[in-house]
Amino acid sequence: MKDKIKVTATELFLNLGFKSVTMDDIANEMGISKKTIYTHFNNKTALVSEVTSSLFCVISEGIDLICSIEKNSIEELYEIKRFVMEHLKNEKTSPLYQLHKYYPKIYATLKKKQFDLMQDCVMDNLKRGVHTGMYRDNINVEFVSRIYFTGVTGIKDQDFFPARMFPMDALMDQFLEYHLRGICTPKGLETLQECITTNQLT
């Protein structure tokens, strides 16, 4: 039952937002009593914590799998972006922003885990891109990986990038292109253009 509650809560949180969904909403969706939920989770904060932790594990495993294939570095970033957006329902409720605003402690823990995961993945991507001639060989890998993390988390701030002006899927595409154009070689730019064209067709 605990896992079923987490699955239902995850769907509702991602579709409607962490703030909007109540324990009553989850109980009604499942056709169970709220008391049943409280036998497994002390409060909504505990449920949010477990849901975000589980979701992070699923996304981490997926990213690790994509990275293990060792695709072309540029294609790999687009593949990761597609995978993450699918699992976060295209971020239409801005889940990370809501976590930051309403559950700051959970957000801080998640952000640290996210940084550790992304740092390894992005640094490997950058080194491989340099080695294969996709990225310039004079980039500072440590600097670029941290700037990338700062950017990819920063664009999720609704105060600066409101969804009505910047739909998340398009915003991620724009950020990826911005990031890659700064580090690509002429060879890499050709691949980037192919990825942009392919991305627009899907």
Contact 128, 69 (CB under 8 A): no
Task: Kindly give the parts of the chain with pLDDT less than 70.
Answer: 89-93, 200-202
pLDDT for res 92: 64
Q: What is the domain-level CATH number for residue 189?
A: 1.10.357.10
- Quick check: is 60 in a domain? yes
Bridge partners, residue 184, by sequence = 135
- Quick check: is 8 in a domain? no
For residue 143, the enclosing domain spans 55-201
- Quick check: is 17 in a domain? no
Domains contained in the chain, number: 1
What's the Cα-to-Cα distance from 148 to each of 2, 34, 77, 152, 183, rounded to whole Å? 36, 42, 11, 6, 11
pTM to 2 decimals? 0.84
- Quick check: is 38 in a domain? no
Maximum C-alpha span of the chain: 61
- Quick check: is 173 in a domain? yes
- Quick check: is 39 in a domain? no
- Quick check: is 24 in a domain? no
pLDDT for res 28: 92
